[in-house]
Amino acid sequence: MMEPYISQNSKQFFAFNVWSIEAAKAVMDGAARMECDVILQTSMKAFKQLDKEEIRTFVNRYMERKKIHAYLHLDHCREVDFIKEAINYGWDSVMIDASDKTLNDNIQITNDICKMAHKQKILVEAEVGRIPGSEDGVGGTEAGIARIEDIKCFVRNTNVDILAAAVGTAHGFYKGMPRIHYDLIERISRITAIPLAVHGGSGLTEEMLLKILSYKNVKKINVSTEVKLAYRQGIEECIQKECTDRGAFDPLEVERRIHDSVEYMTVNKLKLLKRAE
C-alpha cells in the first residue's frame, strides 16, 4: 500500500498558496531548483475560481517533467460541497476548518469529512484552537491558542491525518513579533504522532522557521501572504524598470519578472528545509 504523502514518517513540507497555473508553475520551478517536493494549496476563494481540471492536469504533467512531487491541497474549507469537489478533481488533501464551532461539533464535522475523504485515500487536515487572521476571507480576528486537553480529545476522537493547532502564529502580516508557543508544539509531539501543520508562515524569521522545523512532528508550514507579496514585488520591479509604460508595455517581461520573484521566494523558503535536515 502506498504511504500517505504526509505521515509521521514523511519529510517536512512547505505549502504555498497558489491561485493560477502561473503561480503554481513559479512555485514548482523553485521546488525543482531545490530538488524538493512541495505542496500547492488553494484557498476556497481560489478554488472557486480555478479551472480545477486544468490545474490538476498541469500539475501532474509539470511535476513529471520537473522530476518532483507537487501535491494539491484545499486550504481552510468550511463547505462540504467544495471538499467533495476537491476529492473528485483529485486533490491530494483537504482541510476542513470547523474551528469556529464547539469542540464536539468540530470533532463530528471532521469525522464526517474523514469518512468521505479516506475512501478516496485523500488526507484530511483540521484545526484546533483559533489561528487568528484570515486566509482569503476564511477566519477571523479572534485568537485562541489550542488547549492541550482539546488536542488530546480531538485526536482521540477523530481520524484526522494532519492537525492544524493554533500555536501562536497568525495569517497575514504580523503586528510586532509573533509569540510562538514552541512548548506547545513539543507537548503535542508527546501526546500524538499525528503530523502538525503550522499556519501563518509568512513574516516569520528564518530562525523561527528553523526552530519550528526542528520539531519533527511539524510536517507542513503554510505560506500564503509571502507568495502574494513576491508576486507584487515582481509587478513593482516592472513599474520601476518601466516595462509597464504604455508605449513600451512588455507582457512577456512582466510575466517573467513576476514568475522569477515567486520562484526566488520559494527557493529561499525551501533552502530552510535543507538546513533543518
Q: Catalytic residues, which ones?
A: 75
Shortest Cβ 156–ligand 13P spacing (Å):
25
The set of cell numbers assigned to 156 is 482521540
Dmax of the chain from CA atoms?
63
Least distance (Å) from ligand 13P to the CB of residue 202?
3
Between CA 24 and CA 4 the distance in angstroms is 22
Instruction: Report in angstroms how near the CB of residue 187 gets to ligand 13P at its nearest.
Output: 21
Q: Check binding of 172 to ligand 13P (CB under 6 A).
A: yes
| Residue 223 near ligand 13P by CB under 6 A | yes
Local structure of 128: helix, strand or coil:
strand
The torsion of the CA quartet 204, 210, 212, 213, rounded to 10 degrees, works out to 130
90 in contact with ligand 13P (CB under 6 A): no
Q: Which of residues 57-86 bind ligand 13P (CB under 6 A)?
A: 75-76
Q: How far is the CB of 171 from ligand 13P (least distance, A)?
A: 4
Give the residue, chosen from 73, 199, 220, 257, that forms a contact with ligand 13P under the rule CB under 6 A.
199
Q: Binding of ligand 13P at residue 202 (CB under 6 A)?
A: yes
Going by C-alpha positions, the residue among 148, 156, 160 that lies closest to residue 186 is 148
The reply on whether position 178 binds ligand 13P by CB under 6 A is no
- Is residue 138 within 8 Å of residue 78, measured between CB atoms? yes
Told to check if 259 binds ligand 13P by CB under 6 A, we report no
DSSP string, 43-96: -HHHHHHS-HHHHHHHHHHHHHHHTS-EEEEEEEE--HHHHHHHHHTT-SEEEE
- Within 8-37, the residues that bind ligand 13P by CB under 6 A are 17
Q: How far apart are CA 219 and CA 202, in angstroms?
A: 16
Stretch that binds ligand 13P, among 79-87, 199-207, 236-244, 264-272 (CB under 6 A): 199-207
Residue closer to ligand 13P, measured from CB, 90 or 178? 178
Question: Which residues of this protein are in contact with ligand 13P, per CB under 6 A?
Answer: 17, 75-76, 135, 171-172, 199-202, 222-226
